[in-house]
Amino acid sequence: FYVKYMDNKTRSILRKFSECVDNFQESFNTLVRLFQNAGNIEQRLPFLKDENNYKNLGNETDLQQMVLAKQVTALENVKNRILNSVSDLETIVNQEERLFVDFSASVSSVSSGGVSSMDKVTTLLPESTTLASLVEAI
């Protein structure tokens, strides 16, 4: 509804912000899954450390060490992916902050000697209009 009253710059900023929100959600969901994976590995470790679980397999010590080593390696890999996901989230938040500054500047800009198109828009919008509702409108 509000999109038709916005200038192209503001519309572009909100579209980019919407993309950032989608990217954040995707990265956050990935991070949650990685923490779940790490938790699952951690829960298995006590069972895998118990020598009684390997008694009937023969050469149990070597097998136990191999399985534990694989699980520790998997846990390290998950930890590294968690760190990468956190870094991705930080990058996305920084982009969102820049876009918010750009959006604020575009909304408050007034062309010299006249009323800008955004001033016309802000007079058409209810006071309760939020950035989130504008992004949703796109």
Contact (CB, 8 A) for 22 and 138: no
Q: What average pLDDT does the segment 17-36 reach?
A: 96
pLDDT digit string, tens, across residues 50-104: 888 888 877 778 888 999 999 999 999 999 999 999 999 999 999 999 999 998 8
**2-20 residue pLDDT tens:** 555 567 888 899 999 999 9
Question: Taking 70 as the threshold, does the pLDDT of residue 138 lie above it?
Answer: no
Any idea what the Cα angle at residue 10 is, between residues 137 and 101, rounded to 5°? 110
Residue 49 CB contacts under 8 Å (≥ 6 apart), including other chains: 64, 68
Domain count across the chain: 1
Where do runs of H (alpha helix) occur along the chain? 8-49, 60-108, 117-124, 131-137
Residue 88: which domain range? Answer: 2-137
If one compares 13 and 124, the residue with the highest pLDDT of the two is 13
